[in-house]
Structure 1
Amino acid sequence: MSLKQAVGRFGIWSAELRSDDPAVDGEIREAAAELEELGFGALWLGSSSSVAHGRRLVEATSAVTVATGIISIWQHDAAAVAAETAALERDRPGRFLLGIGASHAKLAADYRRPFSATRAYLDALDAAPEPVPAERRVLAALGPRMLALAAERSAGAHPYLVTAEHTAQAREALGPEPLLAPELKVVLEADPERARALGRAILSRYLVLPNYTASLERLGFGEDDFRDGGSDRLVDAVVVWGGPEEIRKRVAEFHAAGADHVALQVVDGSGRSGLPRAGWRRLAEVLEPRG
């Protein structure tokens, strides 16, 4: 089975699934098994995750692909990551997808020359005693250079905080074969005022990070769009909200633009205090990922 077939068209992106709080360990495992049963093809571990976080979900499920979205190249030694990935592959073949990325200057003290550093990290993964094969890794890529590197040195790209227009541009940059799996925020709310308020609450944390604002500027957004958690125009472009029909329509736009797989982040206002399991169930009813 190819990677595209394994991950399918829909996945779940969640920072909550990588929590280190022992009190929620059991619920995380239970939730992962439920997401697999609901039909989602991949579980993306957000918020600077690790191979160990991935192992927990792999062991709690039977077939779903578990991916890191992403491992920060500044926080995890490449040789150690390669060794952990190889061990997990031996234990559960074909279940784990290594997503790596350069994170952000505000989040990494050693941040410098992110493109060159990412390329060097890939070199180190290749040079490890047990290398991570290119077909089992993806890059967090937004700009043209990183997208080109993803196409050349990995199975594809996992862009975060993007629009359907960016997805079309990324597909053109990658070519037809690599996996394109953008993250997409979903608010299961039809009221425009409440939906946009939930969108702004989560966007505000990203609009202070230059990597994201630079990417959005390339798409035609500007300073006015970045104030106060984001303009209506920006929120509507990067957050899918509405009733079932509108949700299906908007997610389909990303597939039509060239996404093979969409990693859906349910935003319900709870932040990272709990797993949005009710939202995941509702989303499964709307999208019918088993379909």
Structure 2
Amino acid sequence: MTADIGRVGVWSVELRTAAPGEIADAAAELDELGLGALWIPGLGGGDIVGDLERLLKATRGLTVAPAVSSIWRHPAKELAAGHARLTRAYGDRVLLGLGVSDPGTAAEHGHEYRPLHDMAAYLDELDAEPEPVAAQRLILAAMGPKMVGLARRRAGGTHPFLVTPDYSATARELLGTGPLLAPYQAVTLERDPAKARAAGRGFLTGFFGAPAYRKSLLAQGFTEADLADGGSDRLVDSVLAWGDLDAIGKRVAEHLQAGADHVALHVLGVDGLSLPQWRELAGLAQSAG
């Protein structure tokens, strides 16, 4: 496996967008709570290296990762140099998550969209840098079998988004026994079904219509009807884990039993940093360990 990042981590928009002091304090507490990794989204680009360093400075043992940096918004030269600098300062605590975004983003940067070719070419650019990123420190946002195959050959693993435990089993088969498989998992500790699903749809609905995620969800066995009107209850319940800690723990265990090495938990339906929820979810890091 690429890296020992524990069984459970936190995926959070707010760990990138909240006030710097609040981010540092939250990261330090998450480190003390025993979480294995912190995942922050690529968003629209920006200073991802600086945002990773803020988390590294505040912690002692956690791994940090962008989930994921767009290859169109961050030149290979920039990310390779940034990764080298962070590694010298903080050791092997950075996994560099990379994604091909979408046709619109590629077009904005003057490129035709050829996902597999584009990612392979970007990896070539990283390899050609004076301080290349070791393959074991690269994580690809791979969902389809061809991109998973590229990750198996040229990266340390994959970080798939909006996938079920059944997908984790399929991905493990494709990856083999070595590479890291660290799926994203949306969660809410809301016990009421209607409120939980509303929280899920509030964040996830926009992704259901995005071509890459739509294709992935259809390949996972969902139907066009499941994807319509904000997503069916079946779809939402499959990509969102909701309920008490036991219910969330069951979903984490299903991913791990299917072959995942680590599950990145994203708390939905909360304004601001989700510290109370993270404190509760931290118990899963020990029980899944």
Q: TM-score range by the shorter chain?
A: over 0.9
Alpha-carbon distance between aligned partners in 2 of 1:146 and 1:231, rounded to the nearest angstrom:
28
| 1:206 alignment partner, SS class | helix
Matched with 2:165 is 164
Flag structure 2 segments of 5+ consecutive residues without an equivalent.
none
TM-score normalised by length of structure 1: 0.93
User: Given residue 41 of structure 2, which amino acid in structure 1 is its aligned partner?
Assistant: G
Percent same amino acid among aligned pairs? 50
* Greater shift in the superposed pair: 110-119 or 182-191: 110-119
Aligned-residue offset at 1:106: 4.1
User: Given residue 58 of structure 2, which amino acid in structure 1 is its aligned partner?
Assistant: A
Q: Deviations over 1:71-95 (max 9, x none)?
A: 1000000011101111111111111
Q: Deviations over 1:113-165 (max 9, x none)?
A: 11111110000000001100101111010000100001110110111111111
Alpha-carbon distance between aligned partners in 1 of 2:262 and 2:284, rounded to the nearest angstrom:
16
Name the CA shift for 1:27/1:257 in 2 (closer, same or farther; >3 Å): same
Matched with 2:30 is 35
Alpha-carbon distance between aligned partners in 1 of 2:259 and 2:7, rounded to the nearest angstrom:
11
Contact (CA 8 Å) 2:162, 2:185: kept in 1 or not?
A: yes
Name the CA shift for 1:177/1:89 in 2 (closer, same or farther; >3 Å): same
Contact (CA 8 Å) 1:38, 1:289: kept in 2 or not?
A: no
| 1:250 alignment partner, SS class | helix
Aligned residues: 283
Alpha-carbon distance between aligned partners in 2 of 1:107 and 1:278, rounded to the nearest angstrom:
36
Flag structure 1 segments of 5+ consecutive residues without an equivalent.
none
| 2:39 alignment partner, SS class | strand
Aligned-residue offset at 1:287: 5.1
Contact (CA 8 Å) 1:39, 1:289: kept in 2 or not?
A: no
Alpha-carbon distance between aligned partners in 2 of 1:12 and 1:184, rounded to the nearest angstrom:
9
Aligned-residue offset at 1:248: 1.2
Name the CA shift for 1:286/1:134 in 2 (closer, same or farther; >3 Å): closer
User: Which one of the candidate residues 72, 91, 102 is aligned to 1:74?
Assistant: 72
Alpha-carbon distance between aligned partners in 1 of 2:246 and 2:213, rounded to the nearest angstrom:
29
User: Which one of the candidate residues 277, 284, 288 is aligned to 1:279?
Assistant: 277
Name the CA shift for 1:289/1:39 in 2 (closer, same or farther; >3 Å): farther
| 2:130 alignment partner, SS class | coil
Q: What are the equivalent positions in structure 2 for 1:1-291 lying under 5 Å apart?
A: 3-5=2-4, 7-19=5-17, 24-48=19-43, 50-108=48-106, 109-110=108-109, 112-270=113-271, 274-285=272-283, 288=286
TM-score normalised by length of structure 2: 0.93
